[in-house]
Amino acid sequence: MKPAPFEYRAPESLDEALALVEELGEDARPLAGGQSLIPLLSFRLARPTCLVDLAGVPELQSIRIDDGRLVIGAMVREREAERDAKVEASAPLLACALPLIGHPAIRSRGTIGGSLAHSDPAAELPAAAVALEAELIARSRTRGERTIPAADFFTGFLSTALEPDELLTEIRIMRQSPGTGCAFEEVARRHGDFAMVGAAAMVRVEDDRITEARLVLTGVSDVPVRALDAEATLTAAPFTDEVLAEAAEQTAGSLSPASDIHGSSAYRRHVAGVLVRRAVRAATQRAGVAA
């Protein structure tokens, strides 16, 4: 047997789950889809004393529209969100990002909340959440609920702002408004692998001009990186090929990704520039402007 021994608890309500994570403390781990946690257990890189399986917690399972926002429960499976008409209509960026995660058999188990809480530096959903300026909702038994902006949620390599006694319960996303377009572009060694670099773009276009741009890179640092300078460049002048080229160059120049066996730092920087061009171009086209 590969994993070290642990206890297993399967709470049937959110209150019960929150009481368990509080009582068991840092040695316990929530179990969502297991697509990241179980490999860590099998390699014994993680040795929790107890797993708290969230699969039976009804409060974490739904996708709904609430007060102009798309709300996705933490335990919604990636595959389910990918096929949901509300997600496609309200948060097309998420709909672009989801099919890029792993393979169908990974997505049928992996969850939205698990991917966000795991905070893998090359994951798609954290970058999409930052680009969407999503709100992540955390809850503890004693302190209740708090709202964490996506930009503050991812704090480092596999680290988030969640406290040990907290669970991520849902993600809330403003519904995309008309005149907005988005795209998620990435380069991976093979289809389904974690991206070497990925770029999420969202633009709002009025009269052939980008009035608002959000550009976020994944795979180039420990956390998603927002390309603020490039965003400013894109909105400062009418949209042309030259403006796009400048924004791409600015992004590439601002990054210092690590080198590894899959690609050097310089290569990743280059790819980031290329992906910014592709993603912004696709997003503006979807918003109704051809550059």
Partner 1 sequence: MSMLEVALTVNGEARSGAVEPRKILADFIREDLGLTGTHLGCEQGVCGACTVLVNGQPARACLMLAVQARGAEVVTIEGLAEGGELNSLQRAMWESHGFQCGFCTPGFLMQITALLADNPQPSEPEIRAALSGNLCRCTGYESIVNGVLAAAGHPVPSAHEPQTQEPERSSVA
Q: Residues in contact with ligand FAD, total (CB under 6 A)?
A: 29
Q: Does 56 bind ligand FAD (CB under 6 A)?
A: no
CB neighbourhood size of 92 (10 A): 19
Q: Which residues have CB under 8 Å from 98's CB, separation 6+?
A: 78, 81, 82, 87, 107, 124, 125
Q: Does 46 bind partner 1 (CB under 8 A)?
A: no
What is the distance between the alpha carbons of residues 138 and 134, in angstroms, rounded to a whole number? 13
Stretch that binds partner 1, among 102-110, 173-181, 236-244, 246-254 (CB under 8 A): 102-110
Check if the beta carbon of residue 209 is closer than 8 Å to that of residue 230: no
What residue 114 binds from partner 1, ligand FAD, none (CB within 5 to 8 A, per partner kind)? ligand FAD
What residue 115 binds from partner 1, ligand FAD, none (CB within 5 to 8 A, per partner kind)? ligand FAD
Q: Does 29 bind partner 1 (CB under 8 A)?
A: no
| 233-272 binders of partner 1 (CB under 8 A) | none
CB of 214 vs partner 1, minimal distance in Å? 28
What residue 1 binds from ligand FAD, partner 1, none (CB within 5 to 8 A, per partner kind)? partner 1
Considering only 20, 36, 94, 153, the residue that binds ligand FAD (CB under 6 A) is: 36
CB of 235 vs ligand FAD, minimal distance in Å? 29
Q: Does 106 bind partner 1 (CB under 8 A)?
A: yes
CB of 135 vs partner 1, minimal distance in Å? 29
What is the distance between the alpha carbons of residues 168 and 145, in angstroms, rounded to a whole number? 10
Q: Does 154 bind ligand FAD (CB under 6 A)?
A: no
Q: Residues in contact with partner 1, total (CB under 8 A)?
A: 31
What the block records as the tokens of 8 is 């297993």
| 83-142 binders of ligand FAD (CB under 6 A) | 101-102, 106, 110-111, 113-115, 117-118, 120, 123-125
Q: Give the residues lining the site for ligand FAD (CB under 6 A).
A: 29-37, 54, 74, 101-102, 106, 110-111, 113-115, 117-118, 120, 123-125, 162, 167-168, 194
Q: Give the residues lining the site for partner 1 (CB under 8 A).
A: 1-8, 10, 31, 34-35, 38-39, 41-43, 51, 53, 55, 79, 102-106, 108-109, 190-192
